[in-house]
Amino acid sequence: MDLDTLPLFSKINLKRKAHLRDSKRLLNLKDCCHLLIWRGKLLFRFNDGKPVPYLIEKRTKFIKNLSNYIFLGEFENKNIVLWDMSHSREVLGNTDQIGSFNDREKNYHPDLPKGTYFCDLRNLLPILNTKYANLCATAKGIYEWHKRVNFCQSCGGKLSSEKAGWEKVCEKCNFKQFPRIDPVVIMLIIKGNDILLGRSHGWPEKMYSCLAGFIEPGETIEAAAEREAMEESAIKIKNVKYITSQPWPFPASLMMGCTGEAQNRTISIDKNELEDAIWVSKEDVFRALNGLDKSIFMARRGAVARYLIEKWVAGLI
């Protein structure tokens, strides 16, 4: 990891070009490329084992048969349109793990170019090029909003998509809804030479990460960090410092990465929140990060938790 870089997804190289969302000429714009998503899995090709979003340069007959699109913006001088083909039953491959924490299946459509696959973005994080990360996060995030928000929160009426997918309007009361994200605080809690790590129910075996939780109405980042640490582990923290942020489209979070100083060491976990929590020394974290200790695995590469942990081991925070 280059410790001077931003967390994955946080390098913004997608120009939103919101002024085009009202344009009736949107699909006739020059320099358009098209990106496909199926049941939350984006279409990729692989170059030397590395995933690259597969951008279709022409609006082929295959795409013209689709109806649900979202204008993402401009990426590398190309206007990018996302097409949702989740209704397709022609995509092949195992579907048992779709939506799970660990979906490694590469699904494919027989009418799409050979060597292209629909893949779960979360499982590509360790090998995803930062160059494409924010484009993928935007596509995944706006797709998740469209999947979850279909009825008016005011009257319960059906919503229609407007503004090239960036607004929904109630067909009954005309109430407008817009994409929203959930702010989450994630804390690297430090006590001397140790950090506090926890694991949630259902995570891969031996995987540990930083404690985290949603920010509640009326809270600051600092207050949320203190409350979450106490609720989940009974650890009181102080001197909370904001470090960085990361869009996290699983399904709709903005991670606020922080550090905090622990005031006590006795852990008492909330079993509804965590399966386990432990103190880990800097030496043991270093060994785990470098594959020298198989008894514990750090948060996967690409997650802001991993970013914070690696920064701490390197003495940079």
Q: What is the pLDDT of residues 216-240, one digit of tens each?
A: 999 999 999 999 999 999 999 999 9
Mean pLDDT for 173-197 is 97
Q: What is the pLDDT of residues 265-316, one digit of tens each?
A: 999 999 999 999 999 999 999 999 999 988 999 999 999 999 999 999 999 9
3-class SS at 168? strand
Residues 232 and 41: their CA atoms lie apart, in Å, by 32
pLDDT of residue 16: 94
Question: Any idea what DSSP says for residue 247?
Answer: E
pLDDT-derived band at 4, boundaries 50, 70, 90: low
Nearest to 122 by CA among 37, 42, 45: 42
pLDDT-derived band at 35, boundaries 50, 70, 90: very high
* Percent of the chain clearing pLDDT 90 (strictly above): 88
pLDDT of residue 1: 46
Residues 300 and 298: their CA atoms lie apart, in Å, by 6
Amino acid found at 116: T
For the beta carbon of residue 136, count every other beta carbon within 10 angstroms. 24
Mean pLDDT for 162-174 is 96
Residue 46: CA atoms inside 13 Å, Cβ hemisphere, count?
Answer: 11
Nearest to 161 by CA among 143, 182, 188: 143
Average pLDDT, rounded, for the chain: 94
Contact 36, 95 (CB under 8 A): no
Q: What is the pLDDT of residues 113-137, one digit of tens each?
A: 999 999 999 999 999 999 999 999 9
Degrees to nearest 5, angle at CA 265 with 264 and 267: 110
Residues 142 and 16: their CA atoms lie apart, in Å, by 13
pLDDT at 25 over 80: no
Query: Any residues with CB less than 8 A from the CB of 223 and at least 6 apart, and which?
Result: none
Amino acid found at 23: S
Contact 295, 118 (CB under 8 A): no
Give the DSSP H or E segment for 170. Answer: strand 167-170
Contact 208, 297 (CB under 8 A): yes
For the beta carbon of residue 281, count every other beta carbon within 10 angstroms. 12
For the beta carbon of residue 10, count every other beta carbon within 10 angstroms. 19
Residues 313 and 317: their CA atoms lie apart, in Å, by 8
Q: What is the pLDDT of residues 146-156, one digit of tens each?
A: 999 999 999 99
pLDDT-derived band at 202, boundaries 50, 70, 90: confident
Q: What is the pLDDT of residues 37-95, one digit of tens each?
A: 999 999 999 999 999 999 999 888 888 888 889 999 999 999 999 999 999 999 999 99
* Residues facing residue 184 across a β-bridge: 214, 255
